[in-house]
Amino acid sequence: MELGSRWDRFRRSEAASGYMLVSPTALYAILLLAAPLGTIILYSFLTDGYLEIVRTFTLANYHEAWTNELYRTVMLRSLGVSMAVTLVTVVLAFPVAYFVSFHVDPSRKSLWLFLITIPFWTSYLIRVFLWKVILGFNGVVNSGLMGLGIIDEPLTFILYNVNAVVITLAHAYAPFAILPIFVALEKIDRSLLEAGQDLGESRFMTFLRVTLPLAMPGVIASVLIVFIPTIGDYVTPQLVGGPEGRMVANLIQLQYLKLDNYPLGSAIAVSAMGIVTVVSLLFLFLNRRYLKGPKS
């Protein structure tokens, strides 16, 4: 009796309605996201046999992924590229977010944001290919600079290497960086800035001591939202990176689709995700004082 009425109470409770509603989406995510992620973690501990996967537990794939010279170089390069892209993107994006939040008339803010997001939604492949055209031997940058007489010979260090990958990815992830910073800046109470200046701080010092710390949650969000996906980008290194610009996604694709070595491919994928997670957590830890929210 007791149990029955408790069940009845649960069924009519808010929690039960919430679970009922969220369950289709949650089940989908569990079946097609959580379970597959679990599976590749499992695969990374198995052995690749001829035509089938041997079900014996091993750490050999991780040993291979972490000690093989080639894999280690690519992994470190991916990490470096991701960090560079994140730094460039966030530093370039901050002034734009600041401008839109502080200097644009409120009625035109959404127009600016719309203009910033449009390029992000247009064919990614074609945008990356066009960077090849812009940075190439006879490209826009080279013919422009030669036309102006600044250089005599086309620059070759801007295509088919890591630089090209960084430029192209920084372009692709720009809106991702601007929006979280913009949202954080919008939340800042403008009277705090006036107070800062009334108390005799210069505009620059007010920015450093009031605006920037309050905008940090947005900056942290942009850093993570750019850093985590860029490490797994496949198209950009493939098209503009050349042999020296290959990243971890190209390696994973090679293992899965060309060499058919699922366990090693999984070990590389899991290692990359592990590194990303550790770096992100470290970054959050170092910035923990900005995330505590307003002091009471």
Residues 71-90 that bind another protein (CB under 8 A): none
Q: Give the 3-state secondary structure of residue 189.
A: coil
* One residue of 68, 127, 254, 279 binding another protein per CB under 8 A: 127
Least distance CB 266 / another protein (angstroms): 7
Identified binder of another protein from the candidate list 39, 56, 156, 197, rule CB under 8 A: 39
Which is closer to another protein, CB of 183 or CB of 212? Answer: 183
Of 50, 67, 69, 122, which one interacts with another protein (CB under 8 A)? 122
| Minimum separation from the CB atom of position 33 to another protein (A) | 6
* CA neighbor of 274 nearest in space, from 232, 225, 217, 246: 232
Which residue, 66 or 102, has its beta carbon nearer to another protein?
102
Instruction: Kindly identify the residues of this chain, within the stretch 263-282, that bind another protein according to CB under 8 A.
Output: 265-266, 269, 273
HSE, CB side, 13 Å, CA atoms: give it for residue 295. 3
When the beta carbons of 87 and 228 are compared against another protein, the nearer one is 228
Strands (E), the chain: 47-48, 53-54
Footprint of another protein on 140-199 (CB under 8 A)? 140, 143, 171, 174-176, 179, 182-183, 186
> CA 6 → CA 11, 19, 132, 165, 288, distances in Å?
9, 17, 65, 59, 41
Residue 264, Cβ density class (10 Å: 0-12 exposed, 13-18 middle, ≥19 buried): buried
Question: Residue 141: CB partners within 8 Å, gap ≥ 6?
Answer: 134, 135, 155, 158
Query: What's the closest the beta carbon of residue 102 comes to another protein, in angstroms?
Result: 7
Q: Give how many residues touch another protein by CB under 8 A.
A: 90
Is the Cβ of residue 171 or residue 199 nearer to another protein in the bound state? 171
Shortest spacing between CB 1 and another protein, in angstroms: 25
In the complex, least distance from residue 3 CB atom to another protein, rounded to whole angstroms = 19
Q: Which of 49, 119, 213, 274 binds another protein (CB under 8 A)?
A: 119
Binding mask 40-69 for another protein (x = CB under 8 A): x--x--------------------------
Question: Given the complex with another protein, which of 147 and 200 has the nearer CB atom?
Answer: 147
Name the residue nearer to another protein (CB basis): 183 or 216: 183
First to last CA, the chain: 47
The whole-angstrom separation of Cα 217 and Cα 239 is 34
User: Alpha-carbon distance 114 to 126, whole Å?
Assistant: 20
Torsion of CA 243, 73, 161, 278, to 10 degrees: 130
